[in-house]
Amino acid sequence: MAKVDHVSDLDDGALVARLGEAKAELFNLRFQHVTGQLDNAARLRTTKRTVARILTELRAREIAAAEAAEER
C-alpha cells in the first residue's frame, strides 16, 4: 500500500478503497504476528494509525455534509 501524507487530498471513493486496503493489510499483519512471521512489528502500529486517520477524515466529511444540509 502506498503511503499518502494527507488523506484529505483523496476523494470519498478513494478513501473508502484505501480503508479497505488498510484493513486487509492490518488483518494480514495481525495474522503474521500471531504466527511469528512478522519481521517489523511497528508496521502494526502504523497501519492502525492509517486506518484511524482514514476513519477520522470520513467522519469529518460526514459531519460537514450534515451541517451543510442542515443550513439549507
pLDDT at residue number 71:
87
pLDDT at residue number 23:
98
Within a domain: residue 45? yes
- Domain holding 42, by residue range, is 7-71
CATH number, position 16: 1.10.287
pLDDT at residue number 24:
98
Phi and psi based region of residue 51 (left: phi greater than 0; alpha: psi -120 to 50; beta: remaining): alpha
Within a domain: residue 2? no
Within a domain: residue 1? no
Residue-wise pLDDT for 3-62, tens only, equals 545 888 889 999 999 999 999 999 999 999 999 999 999 999 999 999 999 999 999 999
Identify which has the larger pLDDT, 1 or 9.
Answer: 9
∠ CA 40-54-65, rounded to 5°: 175
pLDDT at residue number 30:
97
- Structural domains of the chain, count: 1
